[in-house]
Amino acid sequence: MSSLADIRESIYKGSSKDSVKYTKMELERGTPWEEILQKAMLPALNQVGDEFSKGTAFLPELIAAGHAMTKSVEVIKASVPSMGLGGQGVFVIGTIFGDVHDIGKNIVKICLEGAGFRVVDLGTDVHPETFAQACRENKADLVGISALLSSTMLNIEQAIKAVRKENPKTRIMVGGAPLTEEYARRLGADGFAPDAYLAAQKAKELLGKN
């Protein structure tokens, strides 16, 4: 029998084979994916992150746990019916230049698609001009910039300026662990969301659809 504890343990230990197996089993039992994420997957990554900060876990452990988490997120993504047909609008998303963290961004993407947005995913380490160009080419209603590193979150300001210059009507949302509502406002963003679920809510709110 799989359990949330097995998922947590397998991600913590960096075993993607087990994390995929247990995530599938838990979904088949009918556990909502949000519960799997909140109660098993995120606590595992936070535990590795805390140990990394304290110097009791190292980069290989961080990489392995991140990989196992990514594989479990893929299982979840495949199980969530995608309603991303664009009815709510076009949302361009990416992780800021200098930052390769993408697990949170990918979860935000699942929630946005579930909420009815067509999402154009630029991946990670995205240059400010690339955000601006993608917004122009896709006639984006919204752009979302994710950041996990304090050292590179300053690049968000450049990305916001680049997007505004070419796409004055595109609304800009930012998110990621080191950011706050107040900091987002100071950077010039239109909105901030602390988690993936609220990101989809905020996206609708910014377009006057809530």
Of 53 and 168, nearer to ligand B1M (C-beta) is 53
Q: What backbone phi and psi angles, to 5 degrees, belong to 57? A: -130, 155
Q: Cβ 30 to ligand B1M, closest distance in Å?
A: 22
Dihedral sign for Cα 167, 169, 170, 175, please. Answer: positive
- Among positions 101, 109, 118, 171, the unique one binding ligand B1M when judged by CB under 6 A: 101
**CA angle (4, 8, 11) in 5-degree steps:** 140
Angle between helices 128-138 and 155-166 (to 10 degrees): 30
- Among positions 22, 31, 176, 200, the unique one binding ligand B1M when judged by CB under 6 A: 176
CB contact at 8 A, 93 and 131: no
**Which tokens sit at 71?**
């594989």
CB contact at 8 A, 116 and 204: no
Of 66 and 89, nearer to ligand B1M (C-beta) is 66
**Which tokens sit at 191?**
């909105």
Q: Does 71 bind ligand B1M (CB under 6 A)?
A: no
Q: Cβ 135 to ligand B1M, closest distance in Å?
A: 13
Of 101 and 118, nearer to ligand B1M (C-beta) is 101
- Among positions 134, 199, 200, 206, the unique one binding ligand B1M when judged by CB under 6 A: 199
Q: Cβ 103 to ligand B1M, closest distance in Å?
A: 3
Residues 151-170 that bind ligand B1M (CB under 6 A): 151
Q: Which stretch binds ligand B1M (CB under 6 A): 15-23, 62-70, 130-138, 180-188?
A: 62-70
Dihedral sign for Cα 176, 177, 181, 185, please. Answer: negative
Left (φ > 0), alpha (ψ -120 to 50) or beta: where does 14 sit? Answer: left
Residues at the interface with ligand B1M (CB under 6 A): 42, 45-46, 48-49, 52-53, 59, 62-63, 65-66, 70, 98-105, 107-108, 144-146, 148-151, 173-178, 193, 195-196, 199
